[in-house]
Every structure is written in structure tokens, then in C-alpha cells.
Amino acid sequence: MLTIKNLHASVEGTPILKGINLEIKPGEVHAVMGPNGSGKSTLAQVLVGHEAFEVTEGEILFDGQNLLDLEVEERALAGLFLAFQYPVEIPGVSNLQFLRTAVNTLRKHRGENELDSPSFMKMAKEKAKQVDLGPDFLKRGVNEGFSGGEKKRNEIMQMLMMEPRLGILDETDSGLDIDALKTIANGVNTLRAENRSFLVVTHYQRLLNHIVPDVVHVLAGGQIIKSGDKQLAMELEEHGYGWLGINEAEAAG
Amino acid sequence: MTLAHKTPITPLDNAFTPEGGKQLPAPLKSLRDIRSKAITGMALPNRRTENWKYSSRYLKLDPELAPLTQATGNADYRSVEGTYRLVIRNGVVDLESSSLPTGDGIDIRRFADLDDVTAQGVAKKLDTTLDHGTTQMAALNTARLEDGILIRLSADTSVDKPVYIQYVTDAGTSGSNYPRLMIEAGQGSKMTLVEEFISNGDQPVLVDSVSELLLDDSANITYIRLCMDPVNVRHIGATGVRIGANAKLDSHCIGFGGDLRRHDLQVRLEGQGGYTRLNGIALTQDRQHYDNHTAIDHVVPNCDSDENYRCLAADRSHAIFNGRIHIHPDAQQSHADMNNKNLLLSTNAEIDTKPELEIYADDVTCAHGATVGQLDEESLFYLTSRGIDRDTAATMLSMAFVHELVGQVPLEDIREAVNTRLTDFIEASFRRASE
Ligand SMILES: Nc1ncnc2c1ncn2[C@@H]1O[C@H](COP(=O)(O)OP(=O)(O)O)[C@@H](O)[C@H]1O
Ligand SMILES: [Mg+2]
């Protein structure tokens, strides 16, 4: 589904990703772990097309298409979804209006009927409930005044609405208590399907107890230095990143 | 009046002949004649005229703009549900197309239909709400007066539905018109007034409109002004308001740009406990222009004013905001809050914003702020990352910028209509720009 070959990317001229290779097959869940500053968010943002990150080398194939040729919105329509580490607040655009526009754009693209107001509301309320967000959240501005945890739930709620082919989660677990973590993991798990894959970016192993990965990669200094099964995450948890010879303070270099 | 002696003066009266006003009752005809004489030789505002500094370049009074009062096309008398309707076409009141409130305490008449005594009273009050030093073009309105409408509410009268005034300009041929409105709201009276300016036809037309609102003590007026003329209409409008003790004006001025758009809103708080809220939205695109000049005079103590104007300028357009707050020496305990936020939707657009504070009392609070910004790239990215195309995302963010102000428009039907029209306007601009 997703093939990343020798991906190099820089921000403001500074190389961050230095030759990433990754292959995600349909139905698989891959975890990317790594210390702060190792380039996890950069990888996620490059995939969805943030223009601050310049791809200097390599290629990304998504369902056979060259992802780097696609605009941000085209990538979303192709089935890519990123649950952001730091979702922006957009006062004045209601969650409802935003979601409805997004969902209907997507449906139109897939050749499905656009949802009318009542059926959209029904669906939105259901999905909100699934991540423990009350219906009043739908009326508020996008992420406006949401707590950190509410923002993360809102990201997952959007993912539930949009049913992407590849869901990318960027530290969705950070700052969440164990109940919230479970809620979010449940949300993700209901989406797991033969045809849908996930890339779960996280600093800690604990999320991976709930969203069980098929493959775990360790990212350090802009490269994947080790890959393994879920056991790798446990070992990292036990021994820390130092175990792999990673100096956390220098990881960004 | 600023006269710029070194630049060639185009006199105001020179543009076209001042014939007319024959239907007016004698006192009003005589006021018209006085104004006609007064503006003879008076200079058309030019770039040295301080309050026309950014706009005089859009002001052209060609001979083809001679007054036009005859209807030339089919006007669009869209009736708005749940409102009374008053149609003023090319400056002339069209009672047949109107459906007006009746009943005790409500007096609505054309100037032409006024008896001499009432006309005398109106003539005394006309032009008393505006500062003539800054509203030269309002003087031209009086000098070209053809007709006008008087709405008088006696004490404690409430009008049960909004009065929706449609000013229709037939722009099938070029010309100009001079609509005039006078509202006298008696003590404790209450009404909602909507002024909508529309036009059909594509010839260059000048509309020079003046509306004056006199609020007696404890009167309460909600004022919604929708400047929706197409681009070919050059619209110069003035709204003058005098607010008595404990009276309140809630104003919402919303407009689209054009070849020339100027609105002077002047509000005088003349009785203690008076309050005004002035909200405004101006949108410009292409090569359009919009110039909002507001002035709030705190004349007496204990009055509050809240002002919030927002402009969005796209393409090569030009938006101007000038907000003056004048706190007179006696006006202790005044609270004035003025805010002007602007959004540049293109690097080729221009926005000029200028707060002018004149504070002569010491025990007052007066806050003001003005900003010019651009659409937030991270927000755009967030929306597009959900599959929303960039033009739609930019439209959503632009509408978010005025969301709060649109939300404060008091009538739901009008609020929704405004919302739709603003959205369409902005979206069209983004789509055109990205083609
Ligand atoms: N927008 C940006 N501008 C400048 N530097 C950035 C930007 N985003 C990330 N970086 C830098 O890139 C490196 C990797 O960051 P990031 O991908 O956020 O790491 P992680 O998500 O693994 O913590 C860090 O050194 C960070 O400072
Ligand atoms: Mg990160």
C-alpha cells in the first residue's frame, strides 16, 4: 500500500530525514518509535504534504501512485489521514461545518451520495460518542478551546468519519490518561480492516498494548535503525533508547 | 471644508445641473436651494482632502452622471419575509411597491406628501446629524434632493416587524440619484431598520445617499445596512445618528466593494446612558474599493460605544477604515472600544486603517486596536489535509474571520442571507484568482 524508498527531507535547508525505507502492506499496523527530535513528525508531515518540508531525494508510492505528485487535498482524497500531534484551533469554523465539508468532499470523490444534514448529524453524533466527545463539541469551533485530550479525540473522531486507507497517528497517545488512551485505541481498532493500514508514531510503548502493531521501527537521526515485531517495542520500553546506542539528547542530529 | 488651492479644483456643482426638487414642499425646496448655492464653487474632494485621501482617486463626477429619477428597467423588488417593505427607486419613494406598517404612533410619509408644518420641522432637522466638514457629498445630496422618506415614531411605539428599505438603482443608463431618509424615534420607541442598496444594469451610476436617525431618550434602533450594489455603482453614503439619554443604536453595516464605495457613519451620544454598537464588514475583490469612515462623538458623560469593523481585501482591491472617537471635555465616564481587524487575501491588495482618537476628558476608558493579517497557513493546511480544496478552505477561513460579526446580525433570515452572500462573494474571488 505504502512504499517509501530512500526518503530524504529537509526543513529550511536542514536535512531531517536521511534515507527512510518503509513498506506497509494492506491491513498492517506499523509503529514508528523514536526519541524526541528523531524525525517522526517530519515523516508524518511529509507523507501528507506539508510544504515546510522539502523532499530532496527518494520516492513515496501510495497504491502505486507517486504521492509526491499529489496536492495535500488530493492525498487526503486518495485515502491518507494524519491525526496531528498538535491540531490547530480554528475559531469561527464549526467542527460540524468542517466535518461535513470534508466528509462530503470525500464521498463525492468516491462516487457516493453527499450526506444531507440529518444523516450527517446522526453519523457525527455516533462517532463523537465512540471517542467520548459530547454532541456540543460538534458545534464549537474546530479544536477551539479544546483540552489536549479533547483535541486528540477529535482527531480520531475525524478519522472514524473519513475512513482512510492509511491512518497515520502522530503521538496521539501523548498527554492522555489510561482511559482516554483506551478509548482512542478502541476507536482505531474498530477501523482495522484487511484493506486499511496504520502508521502509529509514538514515543512510548504503552499505546502499542492497545493498538497491537505488526511491525515496529525505531527511528533515530532521521533513519530507521532497527525494525522488528511488537517485541521490539517492549524491549525498548524496558531498556530505554540507550539500549540501541541512541543518545536521546543527540537524536535530532 | 478642505480646499486644495494648488491642485485644479473640480467644483461639486459643475458635474451636472441642479434642476429639480419641484415636488418638495416649500421649506424643503428652500433648504435644497440654500445647499445648491452653498456647494457652488465648492471643490470636489481630492487627494489633499484629508478624509478622502485614499479614495478621491475613485471619485469621478462626469457629466453623464446627471441626476436620473426615471425608472428604466425592471427592479428587483424581492420581498423579505417577515418584514415591512419600503421601495425607494432612483431616490424616489415608490409607495405602490411598498407595504408599510400602519397604526397608532407610526407616521411614514414621502417628503413630497408632507404638510408645510411638518416639512418645516423636517427642514430644521435635516443635515443636523452630520459634520459638514467631513461629509461634503451629503451636502450634495441635499442640494439634489428630489424626494425622501420620513419615519416618525411617537413615544413608546414599537414597530412589530423590521422595516426593510430597498434602494433600487436602475443602472441601464448612466446617471445619479440622491435617496434621503429621516427617522425620528420618539421616547422609548423601538424599531429595526434594514437598508439594502441594490441595482440592475451595468452603466456607471452614482448613488449619493443620506440617512439620518434621531433617537429620543430611551429609543432603541437596530440598524442593518447592506451595501450590495454591483461594481458599476459608485456609492457614497452617509448615516448620521443622534442618540438621546439611555437610547441605543445597534448598527451592522455590511458591504461589497465597487468602483467607489464610501460610507460615513457618524454617531453622536448626546444624552447620558446612551449606547451604541457599531459593527461593520467590508469585502473587496478584483479592483474594487471600499472606504468606511466612522465617527463617534461622546458628547456627554456616561455613554458607551463598542465598535468592531472587519475588512477583507482580495486581488488588487483597496479597503479603507478610518475610525474616529471624539470624547468631549464633559464626557467623563465614557467607555469607548474600537477594534478594526483586516485580512489581506492577496499581496496585491491594499488596506489602510487609521484610528483617530481625540480625548478631552480624563476619567474615561478608550481602547483601540487595528491589525492587518493574512490567512493562517497552518489552518489552511489542516483543512486541506482533510480533502477540502484550497479555495474552499480559504473561503471557510475568511468567513471565520467575520463569523463573530455575522453572528451578531440580529435577524436570522437576514443573517443567513448575509452569510450566503458573503460566502459566495469570497469563494468567487478565490476561484477566479486560482484559475
Ligand atoms: N517546522 C519546522 N521548522 C524547523 N525545524 C523543524 C520543524 N519541524 C521539525 N523541525 C526539526 O526537525 C527535527 C525533527 O523534528 P520532529 O520530526 O518533530 O521530531 P519528533 O516528532 O520525532 O519529535 C527537530 O530537530 C526539529 O527541531
Ligand atoms: Mg513529533
Confidence band, pLDDT 50/70/90 cuts, at residue A90:
very high
Query: Which distant-in-sequence residues (6+ apart) come within 8 Å of B326 by Cβ?
Result: B295, B296, B297, B298, B358
Number of H helices, E strands in chain A: 8, 12
pLDDT at B331: 98
Atom of ligand 1 minimally distant from the CA of A252? 25
pLDDT above 70 (res B14)? no
Q: Do B98 and B246 lie in a common domain? A: yes
pLDDT above 60 (res B244)? yes
**Considering only CA atoms, which residue is closest to atom 1 of ligand 1?**
A52
> Could you give the number of structural domains in chain B?
2
Chain B residues touching A70 at Cβ < 8 A: none
What's the average model confidence in pLDDT over B323-333? Answer: 97
Q: Do B316 and B417 lie in a common domain? A: no
Chain B residues touching A82 at Cβ < 8 A: 385
* Domain end (from B374, B392, B422): B374
Distance of alpha carbon B110 from alpha carbon A226, whole angstroms: 86
- Interface A-B, measured as beta-carbon pairs within 8 A, has a size of 73
Question: Given an 8 Å threshold on Cβ–Cβ distance, is A98 in contact with B378?
Answer: no
In a domain, B202, yes or no: yes
Q: For A27, phi and psi rounded to 5 degrees?
A: 90, -10
CATH class entry, domain A2-86+149-251: alpha beta
pLDDT above 90 (res A242)? no
User: Which ipTM was obtained for this model?
Assistant: 0.96
Query: Are the beta carbons of B178 and B143 closer than 8 angstroms?
Result: no
Question: What is the whole-number distance in angstroms between the Cα of residue A248 and the centre of ligand 1?
Answer: 14
Confidence band, pLDDT 50/70/90 cuts, at residue B327:
very high
In a domain, B19, yes or no: no
User: To the nearest whole percent, how much of chain A has pLDDT over 70?
Assistant: 98
Question: Given an 8 Å threshold on Cβ–Cβ distance, is B384 in contact with A72?
Answer: yes
pLDDT at B75: 56
- Which is it for the CA torsion B139, B143, B144, B150, positive or negative? positive
pLDDT above 70 (res A212)? yes
Mean residue pLDDT of chain A comes to: 93
Helix (H, G, I), strand (E, B) or coil at A74: helix
**Considering only CA atoms, which residue is closest to atom 6 of ligand 1?**
A11
Helix (H, G, I), strand (E, B) or coil at A75: helix
Look up residue A167 and give its three cell numbers.
491512518
Which site among B310, B341, B380, B385 would you substitute to test the A interface, given the most A Cβ atoms closer than 10 Å to its Cβ? B385
pLDDT above 50 (res B4)? no
Q: Do B111 and B129 lie in a common domain? A: yes
Q: Do B266 and B118 lie in a common domain? A: yes
The pLDDT tens digits of the residues spanning B168-190 come to 998 888 889 999 999 999 999 99
pLDDT at A252: 46
Question: What is the whole-number distance in angstroms between the Cα of residue A94 and the centre of ligand 2?
Answer: 26
pLDDT above 90 (res A243)? no
Query: Which ligand has the minimum distance to the alpha carbon of residue A40?
Result: 1
Answer whether A252 contacts ligand 1 (Cβ < 6 A): yes
Question: Given an 8 Å threshold on Cβ–Cβ distance, is A49 in contact with B385?
Answer: yes
Q: Do B193 and B126 lie in a common domain? A: yes
pLDDT at B5: 47
Interhelix angle B136-143/B26-39, rounded to 10 degrees, is 130
Strands B289-298 and B248-256: unpaired
Q: Do B428 and B294 lie in a common domain? A: no
Atom of ligand 1 minimally distant from the CA of A44? 17
Answer whether A16 contacts ligand 1 (Cβ < 6 A): yes
pLDDT above 80 (res A4)? yes
Distance of alpha carbon A89 from alpha carbon A162, whole angstroms: 20
Q: Do B111 and B156 lie in a common domain? A: yes
Question: Given an 8 Å threshold on Cβ–Cβ distance, is A73 in contact with B376?
Answer: no
In a domain, B430, yes or no: yes
* Domain end (from B332, B356, B374): B374
pLDDT above 90 (res A107)? yes
- Which is it for the CA torsion B377, B378, B384, B388, positive or negative? negative
User: To the nearest whole percent, how much of chain B has pLDDT over 70?
Assistant: 93
pLDDT at B11: 66
Confidence band, pLDDT 50/70/90 cuts, at residue A251:
very low
Pick the closest to residue A201 from A6, A77, A20, A57 (CA basis).
Answer: A20
What is the extent of the structural domain holding B311? 26-374
pLDDT above 50 (res B220)? yes
pTM for this prediction? 0.92
With 0-12 CB in 10 A as exposed, 13-18 as middle and 19+ as buried, what is A181? buried
Look up residue B127 and give its three cell numbers.
443635515
Chain B residues touching A162 at Cβ < 8 A: 386-387
Distance of alpha carbon A155 from alpha carbon A143, whole angstroms: 9
Query: Are the beta carbons of A221 and A251 closer than 8 angstroms?
Result: yes
The pLDDT tens digits of the residues spanning A11-58 come to 999 999 999 999 999 999 999 999 889 999 999 999 999 999 999 999
Q: Do B222 and B121 lie in a common domain? A: yes
| Per-residue CA distances from B71 to A8, B108, B168 (Å) | 69, 23, 10
In a domain, B13, yes or no: no
pLDDT at B18: 58
Distance of alpha carbon B374 from alpha carbon B345, whole angstroms: 6
| Chain position carrying cell 525505531 | A218
Look at A167-181, B132-146, B277-291 and tell me which has the smallest mean pLDDT. B132-146
Chain B residues touching A90 at Cβ < 8 A: 379, 382-383, 397, 400
Question: What is the whole-number distance in angstroms between the Cα of residue A28 and the centre of ligand 2?
Answer: 22
The pLDDT tens digits of the residues spanning B15-47 come to 555 578 889 999 999 999 998 888 887 888 888
Q: Do B404 and B255 lie in a common domain? A: no
Question: Given an 8 Å threshold on Cβ–Cβ distance, is B400 in contact with A93?
Answer: yes
pLDDT above 90 (res A193)? yes
What residue type is B31 in one-letter code?
A: L
Q: Do B355 and B392 lie in a common domain? A: no
Q: Do B321 and B389 lie in a common domain? A: no
pLDDT above 70 (res A103)? yes
Q: How far is A36 from chain B (nearest CA, A)?
A: 22
| B232 touches A at CB < 8 Å | no
Look at A94-103, A230-239, B385-394 and tell me which has the smallest mean pLDDT. A230-239
pLDDT above 60 (res B3)? no
pLDDT above 90 (res A100)? yes
Look at A169-183, B33-47, B55-69 and tell me which has the smallest mean pLDDT. B55-69
Q: Do B391 and B307 lie in a common domain? A: no
What's the average model confidence in pLDDT over A86-108? Answer: 96
In a domain, B14, yes or no: no
Answer whether A36 contacts ligand 1 (Cβ < 6 A): yes
Confidence band, pLDDT 50/70/90 cuts, at residue A153:
very high
pLDDT at B1: 44
What's the average model confidence in pLDDT over B318-339? Answer: 98
